[in-house]
């Protein structure tokens, strides 16, 4: 393993640390997604040849459904498909995953869909899908000898990193935009790590994190210098959807897009399940969802571009407010290859989407969930999504984190004196 910091910003591994044998399970190397060059497993996140992003490559043994089903009731049931050691479940962690897949009959009827499911990741330990990716990143950081778990975040990742580090007994440092929702600030600070508010957008915060990662030996920024491992955690969403559907794939999936890594890794997870013979091969259309106030990927898709032009975010959906999404071009590739698309919705439609999901299914999603539901509705209305096909939408986080988004839209219908007469006079009977 290298312990050298390069000008490419590819590695800052603690000196003289050698990971255990089998520390990364069936993972074999890191592979550049642009030029295909490979590099040994380590704290690298950019290709030494072309500076392209790296991802984890594997040599999988035969893996059966029965082996997975016999595993723990969290993401570690898929440990053989992740860059983690076989004994990963024995270390203190927040045990995310195996969240519910809800049959959304009421919402389906309202939107005119035949079969709709909501993968509700608000049920994770810190109430968002970020617990999945952080659990995998924390494992890699531990095996690589890092002492500090850190991240730049739009909120959900901040919660997950702070909680995971507390559970693991290590220090956390979280950088967030200073205008982040108060609920996400409180639910990060409560775990006792170091929370830093930074003047600027998430993209400014991310640039600062990259600089710190290049200077501070022993700091694992989960979505910077151990990003290849971190991103792999999102594959577990695809695994769970397939397993919860009885080891089969849906026809269509709608996924919120911030950096884009979640959508890209869901596609990777689907292809792995097919390649391993764990599900029957079939086409799955993948759709991306963004808020109009930060829709660089949707814009690139609609204009037929292969590159994503950065934007300055201006949306209430702050968890998706990444103006320069790292995986944007790969989202374009996945959506075009699978026959999906990338669509965007206004902030008003986002709030409508939150209310619609809550009113029909009793699920209170955060603003990213509102983006996904509103986008689903728009895709149906514009004929871009086939309502007769089985569809899954992702609710990536809990609405309690973004109360301000709906605070002006909901509340008491009346304020009355504590008498039955007042109740009836108000027309409430």
- Which SS3 state, helix, strand or coil, does residue 109 take? helix
pLDDT of residue 3: 31
pLDDT of residue 9: 42
- Which SS3 state, helix, strand or coil, does residue 108 take? helix
| φ, ψ (nearest 5 deg) of residue 29 | -170, 175
Residue 233 to residue 257: CA distance in whole angstroms: 16
8 A C-beta contact, residue 210 and residue 193 = no
- For residue range 39-50, what is the model confidence (pLDDT) as tens digits? 999 988 899 999
CA nearest to 320, candidates 273, 263, 392: 263
CA dihedral 22, 23, 28, 33 (to 10 degrees): 170
Residue 362 to residue 355: CA distance in whole angstroms: 10
The pTM score is 0.94
Give average pLDDT by consecutive 10-residue segment, the chain, 429 residues.
Answer: 37 70 96 96 92 96 97 98 97 96 98 98 97 98 96 95 97 95 94 96 94 92 95 98 98 98 98 98 98 98 97 95 96 98 98 98 97 98 98 97 91 93 95
pLDDT of residue 17: 79
């Amino acid at each position: 393993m290298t312990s050298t910091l390069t000008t490419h910003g590819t590695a800052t591994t603690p000196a003289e640390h050698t990971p255990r044998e089998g520390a990364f399970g069936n993972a074999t190397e890191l592979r550049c997604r642009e030029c295909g060059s490979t590099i040994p497993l380590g704290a690298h996140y950019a290709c030494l040849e072309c500076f392209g992003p790296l991802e984890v490559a594997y040599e999988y043994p035969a893996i059966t459904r029965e082996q997975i089903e016999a595993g723990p009731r969290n993401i570690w049931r898929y440990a053989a498909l992740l860059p983690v050691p076989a004994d990963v479940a024995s270390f203190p962690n927040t045990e995310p995953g195996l969240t519910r897949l809800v049959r959304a009959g009421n919402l389906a009827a309202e939107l005119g869909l035949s079969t709709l499911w909501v993968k509700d990741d608000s049920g994770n330990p810190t109430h968002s899908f970020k617990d999945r990716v952080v659990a995998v990143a924390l494992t890699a950081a531990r095996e690589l000898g890092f002492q500090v778990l850190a991240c730049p975040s739009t909120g959900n990742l901040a919660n997950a990193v702070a909680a995971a580090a507390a559970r693991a007994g290590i220090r956390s440092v979280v950088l967030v935009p200073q205008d982040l929702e108060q609920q996400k600030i409180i639910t990060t600070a409560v775990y006792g790590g170091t929370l830093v508010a930074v003047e600027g957008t998430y993209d400014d915060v991310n640039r600062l994190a990259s600089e710190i990662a290049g200077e501070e030996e022993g700091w694992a920024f989960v979505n910077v210098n151990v990003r290849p491992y971190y991103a792999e955690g999102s594959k577990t969403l695809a695994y769970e959807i397939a397993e919860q559907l009885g080891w089969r794939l849906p026809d269509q999936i709608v996924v919120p897009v911030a950096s884009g890594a979640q959508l890209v890794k869901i596609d990777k997870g689907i292809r792995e399940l097919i390649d391993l013979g764990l599900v029957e091969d079939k086409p799955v259309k993948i759709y991306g969802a963004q808020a109009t106030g930060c829709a660089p990927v949707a814009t690139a898709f609609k204009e037929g571009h292969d590159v994503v032009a950065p934007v300055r975010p201006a949306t209430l959906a702050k968890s998706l407010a990444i103006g320069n999404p790292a995986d944007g071009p790969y989202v374009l590739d996945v959506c075009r290859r699978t026959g999906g698309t990338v669509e965007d919705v206004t902030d008003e439609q986002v709030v409508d989407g939150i209310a619609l999901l809550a009113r029909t299914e009793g699920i209170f999603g955060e603003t990213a969930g509102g983006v996904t539901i509103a986008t689903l509705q728009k895709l149906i209305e514009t004929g871009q999504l086939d309502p007769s096909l089985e569809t899954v939408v992702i609710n990536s986080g809990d609405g309690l984190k973004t109360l301000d988004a709906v605070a002006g839209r909901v509340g008491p219908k009346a304020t009355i004196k504590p008498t039955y007469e007042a109740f009836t006079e108000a027309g409430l009977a």
